[in-house]
């Protein structure tokens, strides 16, 4: 990678930064967090003892493709110059995001600090649920396995953003040192606040304000359907890293059959799995009816106005909050269609973004209040269907994994990603709060209800639960905040 200027002084000629950013001192750029980013920060720091809500991808390079450590570090520096979000930091106790234009020496030092060469025996797949919350982002390279893993703070990147980031990194690896960048010009590519861009800060009518309050109240329903958690409370020692991962990957033929059945029934893969989740949560928790309080992330990139200097590698989602009734006799397809209608509101531009902003604010107030009175929320898995990895990663790869590190006491994420024509569901959770086998049982139920609901007969897919033992733990006495405040935080 060629970097200009070649002296050790900061660039003088700096282009225009995106709306909202200002230079607060030479070379230091800052903007306030939008409602989504603030909510993610809030969730991320509910329990100061646990690293949580760190999104990560793993990539396995094709056979015969190998890169040196220096090539990897050079590509990582080039990626920062084209996507400075990976070096942004969260400042002012979650009120703002900041970027420091580096000198040449500082750029090299940053790469040395954030690129980790892993020869521990772990794989990139395992690393996606293992690792401390990064200051911004980190790259883990497994030279002996031809694998790499990228971790990023959720306030900076969502799941799709991280996949696109991985694609850009692979391109930089392939291009090599021919890339040329001028330090300082990258500030034109700093991430813009999605909620603000889509009109989320505009005034709401009194009716919409009340709607937002009801959504927040329903989402925090302590009597909503919850999963069965560890019997007799949590284990005596809780790992500081969540480490829970259970995966099911459908065969290529079963994946094709699932998509065909969804199209025939006029539902989406997301709502089909959501319906299976709803049935599973009801049975797993031992109930016969109730309300499912959850959210589904909605990718808003198609709604954001793009320009020559805009970037898709950022956090460009909102959360479709829902509180839907579930009965053991509910019709699978009809329930999925109802969920589809529930999702439609959250794609309606300015009005939905305004309500979303108001919900975010109401949630912070509600959760803070409940935590002081000992109110706990039910255990649940939040569904994120990212789509097809080939739509984001153009370079040839052998496999791709997308996970989220989840450490909140009784909640997790169910990540759906289709790679090489195979649908993969990954449950990410904190194993300290579930008995052995409880999440394996949960995953089996989701697969079974999906099979029955779509009228299919599945062959055996692939299941995985890596065995990762943490070297760090904290005592039960440190768990008071976590066990009394089991509010989950968003994914991807």
Residues 489/295, Cβ–Cβ less than 8 Å: no
Distance of CA 16 to the CA centre of its chain: 30
In sequence order, the β-bridge partners of residue 246 are 427
**CA–CA dist 395, 410 (Å, integer):** 37
Helices (H), 9-122: 35-44, 69-82, 104-114
CA distances from 378 to 222, 265, 433, 483, 486 (A): 6, 31, 12, 12, 8
DSSP codes, 232-247: TSS-SEEESS-EEEEE
In sequence order, the β-bridge partners of residue 404 are 55
Q: In this predicted model, what pLDDT tens digit does every residue of 161-199 receive, in sequence order?
A: 999 999 999 999 998 866 678 999 999 999 988 888 888
What is the reported pLDDT for 443?
Answer: 96
What is the reported pLDDT for 485?
Answer: 33
Query: Residue 240: CA atoms inside 13 Å, Cβ hemisphere, count?
Result: 12
What is the reported pLDDT for 45?
Answer: 75
Grouping H, G, I as helix, E, B as strand and the rest as coil, residue 490 is: coil
What is the reported pLDDT for 305?
Answer: 63
Whole-prediction pTM? 0.89
Residue whose C-alpha is closest to residue 359's, from 35, 34, 32: 35
Q: Directed axis angle between helix 69-82 and helix 159-175, to 10°?
A: 120
What is the reported pLDDT for 441?
Answer: 94
Residues 353/287, Cβ–Cβ less than 8 Å: no
What is the reported pLDDT for 235?
Answer: 47
**CA–CA dist 346, 321 (Å, integer):** 9
Grouping H, G, I as helix, E, B as strand and the rest as coil, residue 256 is: helix
Distance of CA 222 to the CA centre of its chain: 24
Phi-psi region of 79 (alpha: psi -120 to 50; beta: other; left: phi over 0): alpha
What domains lie within the chain, and their CATH numbers? Answer: 2-192 (3.30.559.10), 196-484 (3.30.559.30)
> What is the number of other CB atoms lying within 10 angstroms of the CB of residue 4?
13
**CA–CA dist 384, 74 (Å, integer):** 32
Helices (H), 224-310: 252-264, 269-284
The pair of structure tokens assigned to 164 is 């696109």
Low-confidence ranges of the chain (pLDDT < 70): 1-14, 47-52, 131, 177-179, 232-242, 305-311, 407-410, 461-492
The pair of structure tokens assigned to 312 is 């898709």
């Amino acid at each position: 990678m060629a970097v200009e200027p070649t002296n050790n002084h900061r660039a003088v000629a700096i282009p225009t930064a995106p709306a909202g950013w200002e230079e607060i001192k030479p070379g230091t750029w800052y903007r306030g967090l939008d409602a989504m980013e603030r909510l993610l920060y809030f969730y991320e720091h509910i329990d100061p003892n646990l690293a949580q809500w760190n999104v990560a991808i793993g990539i396995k390079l094709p056979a015969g493709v190998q890169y040196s450590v220096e090539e990897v570090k050079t590509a990582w520096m080039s990626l920062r110059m084209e996507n400075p979000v990976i070096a942004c930091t969260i400042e002012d106790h979650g009120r703002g995001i900041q970027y420091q234009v580096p000198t040449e020496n500082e750029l090299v030092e940053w790469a040395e600090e954030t690129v980790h060469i892993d020869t521990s025996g772990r794989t990139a797949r395992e690393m996606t649920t293992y690792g401390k919350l990064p200051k911004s982002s980190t790259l883990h390279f497994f030279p002996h396995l031809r694998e790499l893993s990228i971790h990023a703070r959720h306030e900076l990147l969502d799941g799709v953003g991280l996949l696109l980031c991985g694609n850009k990194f692979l391109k930089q690896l392939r291009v090599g040192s021919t890339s040329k960048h001028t330090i300082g010009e990258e500030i034109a590519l700093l991430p813009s606040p999605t909620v603000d861009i889509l009109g989320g800060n505009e005034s709401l009518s009194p009716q919409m304000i009340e709607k937002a309050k009801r959504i927040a109240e329903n989402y925090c329903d302590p009597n909503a359907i919850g999963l069965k958690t560890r019997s007799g409370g949590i284990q005596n020692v809780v790992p500081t890293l969540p480490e829970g991962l259970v995966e099911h990957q459908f065969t290529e033929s079963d994946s094709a059959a699932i998509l065909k059945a969804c199209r025939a029934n006029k539902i989406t893969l997301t709502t089909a799995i959501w319906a299976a989740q709803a049935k599973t949560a009801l049975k797993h928790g031992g109930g016969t009816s109730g309300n499912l309080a959850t959210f589904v992330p909605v990718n808003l990139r198609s709604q954001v106005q793009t320009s020559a200097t805009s970037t898709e590698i950022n956090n460009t989602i909102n959360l479709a909050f829902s509180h839907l009734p579930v009965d053991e006799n509910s019709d699978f397809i009809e329930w999925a269609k109802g969920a589809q209608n529930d999702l439609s509101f959250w794609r309606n531009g300015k009005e939905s973004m305004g309500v979303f902003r108001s919900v975010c604010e109401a949630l912070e107030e509600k959760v803070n209040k409940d935590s002081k009175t000992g109110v706990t929320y039910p255990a649940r898995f939040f569904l994120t269907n990212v789509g097809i990895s080939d739509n984001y990663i153009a370079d040839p790869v052998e496999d791709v994994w997308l996970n989220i590190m989840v450490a909140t006491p009784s909640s997790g994420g169910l990540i759906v990603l289709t790679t090489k024509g195979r649908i993969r569901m990954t449950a990410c959770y904190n194993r300290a709060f579930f008995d052995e086998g409880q999440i394996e049982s949960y995953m089996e139920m989701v697969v079974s209800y999906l099979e029955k609901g779509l009228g299919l007969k599945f062959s055996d897919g692939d299941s995985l639960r890596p065995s990762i033992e943490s070297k760090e733990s904290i005592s039960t006495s440190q768990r008071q905040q976590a066990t009394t405040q089991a509010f989950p935080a968003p994914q991807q």
